[in-house]
Amino acid sequence: MAALTLRSSMLLLLLPPSNSSPISHRSPSPASCCIHTTQLRSQLPSKSGHIHRLVLSNPGRTKLNPSSDRSFYAFPRLVKHVDEGFLDNLTSLYRERIPPDAEILDLMSSWVSHLPPEVKYKRVVGHGLNAIELSRNPRLDYFFVKDLNEEQKLELADCSFDAVLCTVSVQYLEQPERVFSEIYRVLRPGGVCIVSFSNRMFYEKAIAAWRDGSAYSRTQLVVQYFLAVSGFTQPEVVKKLPAADLQIPESNSLISWLLRLLPSAGGDPFYAAIAYRNYKPT
Ligand SMILES: C[S@@+](CC[C@H](N)C(=O)[O-])C[C@H]1O[C@@H](n2cnc3c(N)ncnc32)[C@H](O)[C@@H]1O
């Protein structure tokens, strides 16, 4: 794939250490969790899952190529969008965070879900924009096609997944607050959402806030998408930089700026933002 690798001119700052403590990875049954939530809603003025503020300005949501995403993704791309080092980090994270009997939603998916091959999950549902790609994905039990920039509502039941994944795709969402609210809705309490990304993108299809940002600001953007929706835990950030990137001094000097424009000899940097649906209504 001719995905454009963007080495940002901005500084790569060290992310603050995670201050969240994930709650139990185990989930109650869908029935019990939904009854519980409904009961609580009738008793308490719960705002769980509501968008309480917008993260992006209108200009921040714009794309250089405003044509329909469906036509952009009409041709199947049966390629890997990031390198093996990135994918190894991602699969290890999934192994660590997703229980083996989980029901998983792979949002903005393609022909590969990067799940650990040795783990059998209860159900994996895929979503994307290209049916040929999704039909080739051996991990999916079911898939559906939907343009999330046209409509964000997912035709999926409340509290029906233990994990929602979004791999190297969050930069294409024009209404991320609404999509994250839907992610919250379909997650069971205690369920995890893992959003991973690198510095590659289809530049013309990434929103301005992402395109014009740095590694640090993009990570913070995803953190803010979670925080915009009531009821997620404080997001954790996982960052794994290839050795060559680590050697670039984190300063504002011209040499650092120039080095960051060069393709990385060390491979694709790995970033993930992780949050859980809280048990407690907010
Ligand atoms: C770089 S690919 C990543 C695919 C997959 N997650 C992976 O790891 O290989 C970006 C994906 O985002 C999805 N996508 C882009 N724009 C979208 C939109 N408006 N609505 C839904 N999905 C979209 C496409 O299906 C596309 O496969």
Q: Which domain holds residue 221?
A: 49-276
CB of 200 within 6 A of ligand 1: the answer is no
Mean pLDDT over residues 217-239, rounded?
97
Position 155 in a domain: yes
Ligand 1 centroid to Cα of residue 171, in Å, is 9
Position 23 in a domain: no
Position 39 in a domain: no
Cβ-Cβ contacts under 8 Å for 195 (sequence gap 6 or more): 165, 166, 170, 222, 225, 272, 273, 274
Confidence of residue 40 (pLDDT cuts 50, 70, 90): very low
CA distances from 84 to 23, 26, 114, 164, 271 (A): 30, 29, 10, 22, 14
Of ligand 1's listed atoms, the one at least distance from the Cα of 166 is 6
Cβ-Cβ contacts under 8 Å for 133 (sequence gap 6 or more): 76, 77, 78, 109, 110, 111
Position 1 in a domain: no
Residue 5: per-residue pLDDT? 36
- pLDDT digits over 52-105, tens only? 999 999 999 999 999 999 999 988 888 888 999 999 999 999 999 999 999 999
Position 85 in a domain: yes
Alpha-carbon distance of 203 to 225, in angstroms, equals: 20
CB of 152 within 6 A of ligand 1: the answer is no
Position 141 in a domain: yes
Position 8 in a domain: no
Both tokens assigned to 273: 């933002």
- pLDDT digits over 252-281, tens only? 566 655 565 555 557 999 999 999 999 876
- pLDDT digits over 146-202, tens only? 999 999 999 999 999 999 999 999 999 999 999 999 999 999 999 999 999 999 999
pTM of the model: 0.81
Mean pLDDT over residues 44-49, rounded?
61
Angle at the Cα of 142 from the Cα atoms of 148 and 116, rounded to 5 degrees? 95
| Contact status, residue 114 vs residue 87, Cβ threshold 8 Å | yes
| Contact status, residue 98 vs residue 104, Cβ threshold 8 Å | yes
CB of 106 within 6 A of ligand 1: the answer is no
Position 22 in a domain: no
- pLDDT digits over 13-36, tens only? 223 333 333 333 333 333 334 333
Residue 24: per-residue pLDDT? 34
Q: Any idea what DSSP says for residue 232?
A: B
Angle at the Cα of 181 from the Cα atoms of 177 and 183, rounded to 5 degrees? 115
Ligand 1 centroid to Cα of residue 225, in Å, is 18
| Residue nearest atom 15 in ligand 1 by C-alpha distance | 172
126: phi then psi, degrees, rounded to nearest 5: -110, 150
Total count of domains within the chain: 1
224: phi then psi, degrees, rounded to nearest 5: -70, -30
Q: The CATH number of the domain where 257 resides is what?
A: 3.40.50.150
Query: 165: which strand partners?
Result: 106, 194
Alpha-carbon distance of 136 to 127, in angstroms, equals: 13
Residue 74: per-residue pLDDT? 87
Ligand 1 centroid to Cα of residue 32, in Å, is 33
Cβ-Cβ contacts under 8 Å for 12 (sequence gap 6 or more): 214, 215, 216, 241, 245, 248, 250, 260
How many CB atoms lie under 10 A from the CB of residue 268?
Answer: 24
